[in-house]
Amino acid sequence: MKPTLDSRQLLAFSALARRGSFTLAAKDLFLTQSAVSHAIKALEDDLGCRLLDRVGRRVMLTQSGEQFLRHTEKILREMETARAGLDDLSKWGHSRLRVGASTTACQHILPTVLREFRQSFPKCEIRIEPGDHGQQLELLRAGQVDLAIVIEPPAGVQDEFVFVPLFRDELRFFVAPLHPWAKLGRPPREQIATETLILYNKTSFTFRLVSDYFREEKITLLNVIELGSMEAIKELVKIGLGAGLLAPWIAREELESGALVSLPLGPRKLRRRWGVAHLKGRRLALAEETFVGLCDSVTEVLGLKNPGASADSV
């Protein structure tokens, strides 16, 4: 009878497959590079096949390695679930929730959600990791957050995650009341290319959506100011420095007070879908399921479920 697999070797193999480097895998596991190398060699000897190939400084999975990785990840997930279940039994009401969210979601959505969540799980340890869309997906992959409030992942990476939709929004131009576009009630197409546009972070998924939109419209943006804060974008627009691109729910107060005016980008709308994402194959704990449900309820209370009506009315 062959001996059972060593969980420490499985962890080393999983980390190495994910990171593609003995040095980085050892760093993640708080081990020496030699310890990881010995664990992989022992695992390969035990299985009787080669799992990895070294290509320069990179480590690549063999065909056997790719097949074995699927089993390894399933085993490790089951072990994590078993341990979490025992922890829940021994410490009822004591749990942990790690949430990733953009700064915008942290400001406008999370406060209400977490206030409601605290009433059901007063002893739960909560940690928030702010960051843009791409950062949140990386945090999910690395197991550093349990859930992330994000824009729907692009088609190429959707298979890695479960995405629970919450609401759709629409990106629109925002200008000061005295801006010429505000008086016209629309942005003249021929003026968009030369207008100073104030956009969110060039590394963000939203910036990519905006760039793709205007490329498809055959409009080349010549004057762009890039900022890492939605609040800063609104302030620059208020003083008449240019036109910002925002979703109406982010500037609700300014729209209601008349400090900003919202205009469509053009005949074709640019919409995004927001939701809560987690790694596929991962079973959610009760606290996590409750958090997802509260996000759905709160976004409905905040009026985010039907952005079309609110956007067209301002």
CB 238 within 8 A of CB 293: no
Here the tokens at position 75 are 């085993």
- For residue 101, report the phi and psi dihedrals to the nearest 5 degrees: -160, 155
Instruction: Report d(CA 97, CA 99) in Å as an integer.
Output: 6
Beta bridge partners of 262: 174
Report which of residues 205 and 85 the model is more confident about. Answer: 205
- Model confidence pLDDT, tens digit, residues 157-176: 778 899 999 999 999 999 99
CATH of the domain at 242: 3.40.190.290
Do residue 28 and residue 52 come from a single domain? yes
Same domain, 112 and 172: no
Would you say how long the chain is, in residues?
314
Domain match, 141 and 288 both: yes
The residue out of 90, 115, 130 marking a domain boundary is 90
Same structural domain, 173 and 265: yes
Residue 120 pLDDT exceeds 80: yes
Could you list the residue range(s) of the whole structural domain that residue 280 is in? 96-165+275-306
For residue 97, name the pLDDT band (cuts at 50, 70, 90): very high
Based on the fold, state whether residues 135 and 149 are members of the same structural domain: yes
User: Does one domain contain both 212 and 264?
Assistant: yes
Maximum mean pLDDT: which of 103-112, 172-181, 221-230, 278-287: 172-181
74: left (phi over 0), alpha (psi -120 to 50) or beta: alpha
Report the first-to-last Cα separation within the chain, whole angstroms. Answer: 72
- The CATH number for 29's domain is 1.10.10.10
Average pLDDT score over the chain: 88
In a domain? residue 128: yes
For residue 304, name the pLDDT band (cuts at 50, 70, 90).
Answer: confident
Q: Quick check: 126 and 95 in contact, CB under 8 A?
A: no
Give the percent of the chain with pLDDT over 70. Answer: 93
Q: What's residue 312's pLDDT?
A: 40
Express each pLDDT in 209-230 by its tens digit.
999 999 999 999 999 999 988 9
* Exposed / middle / buried, residue 32 (Cβ in 10 Å: 0-12, 13-18, 19+): exposed
Instruction: Please report the pLDDT score of residue 310 as a whole number.
Output: 40
Helix axes 33-47, 7-19, angle to 10 degrees: 110
Half-sphere exposure of 258 (CA within 13 A, CB side): 2
Spatial separation of the C-alpha atoms in residues 286 and 289, rounded to whole Å: 5
Same domain, 54 and 76: yes
pTM above 0.85, yes or no: no
Question: E-assigned strands of 123-160?
Answer: 125-130, 147-151
Asked, for residue 2, whether it belongs to a domain, the answer is no
**Mean pLDDT, residues 47-54:** 88
Give pLDDT, residue 274. Answer: 95
Residue ranges of E strands in 152-222: 161-175, 196-200
Answer whether residue 243 shows pLDDT above 50.
yes
pLDDT at 218: 96
| CA-to-CA dists, residue 34 to 14, 30, 50, angstroms | 16, 12, 18
Quick one: average pLDDT of 75-79? 87
